[in-house]
Amino acid sequence: MREFWKEHSKDATVEEMMLDSRAKELTQHELPEILSLLPCLTGSRVLELGAGIGRYTGSLLTLAGHVTAVDFMESFVERNRQDNGHHSNATFLQADVTKLDMPKNSIDFIFSNWLLMYLTDEELKSFAEKMMGWLRPGGFLFFRESCNHRSGDFKRGLNPTCYRTEAQYNHLMTSMEVDVQEGGQMFGFDIVLKKKVQTYVQMKNNQNQICWLLEKVPRSPGTQNGFNSFQQFLDNQQYSNRSILRYEKMFGAGYVSTGGPSTTKEFVTC
């Protein structure tokens, strides 16, 4: 992955960040869209991972109490420092996020925009557990990834990026449980929001840019109808294949509740 980013960090430009020739135009729409999805950051301690040249760092610094921006490419960290170093509440770190360490429960909000797809499955699993440890209970994790296939039009010789499906991220993030303090209290992530990035839908007809906002919550075994989380209950019982087939028998193909095609047609045409 370092080799990949060495090849794409020669100029430290917004085009390299987005690996797209239309980056300047795209970022104008994407930035406000993504920022509008974040929770209130007033006074909060923010960790921005894979910050690149700081496309988001400047805005996060104006919203939050403190921002630590991390990236492993020296030229990107330098450009971020040049552009945003005048903020007194910024720390810039050149580090590989998989080797990063932070005190437990010390962060209110973790932000990453296109980072997890540059980690292998094994790295991602242990990294997600680390992030859970760094966040305080009730803290939030925002991440946005290219799912299924690449989004940018830049030529890539070697491309080791891992384009996971939306379902893979859902499963990985909501199924893990971590005993952060090693005292028996388990924590997990609940999905607060999951959305397609509309800028990419509208400007590139690309439905595969997905972002998630997760909250770190305590888990008590078996509290959600015998499941550890509401998501697990939905995936394994409420909307298991068997249950969906049963719903469709009652409500019609493609429907899991009352309505059916005639009602849908009426709603969308009025």
Ligand X SMILES: C[S@@+](CC[C@H](N)C(=O)[O-])C[C@H]1O[C@@H](n2cnc3c(N)ncnc32)[C@H](O)[C@@H]1O
Binding site for ligand X (CB under 6 A): 1, 5, 17, 50-52, 55-56, 71-73, 76, 96-98, 113-115, 118
Phi, psi of 84 (to 5 degrees): -125, 0
Structure token digits, residue 72: 């492993």
Three-class SS of residue 270? coil
Distance CA 224, CA 235 (A): 12
Smaller CB separation from ligand X, 34 or 173: 34
Nearest distance from C-beta of residue 96 to ligand X, angstroms: 4
104 secondary structure, DSSP code: T
Nearest distance from C-beta of residue 127 to ligand X, angstroms: 9
Nearest distance from C-beta of residue 2 to ligand X, angstroms: 8
Smaller CB separation from ligand X, 115 or 173: 115
Smaller CB separation from ligand X, 87 or 235: 87
CA distances to 126, 128, 174 from 96, rounded to whole Å, are: 14, 14, 24
Nearest distance from C-beta of residue 233 to ligand X, angstroms: 33
Task: Tell me the one-letter amino acid at 268.
Answer: V
Nearest distance from C-beta of residue 73 to ligand X, angstroms: 4
Smaller CB separation from ligand X, 114 or 200: 114
Structure token digits, residue 232: 């697990």
Distance CA 129, CA 108 (A): 16
Smaller CB separation from ligand X, 50 or 139: 50
The sheet that has 209-219: what strands, in order across it?
90-94, 66-71, 45-49, 107-113, 135-146, 209-219, 186-196
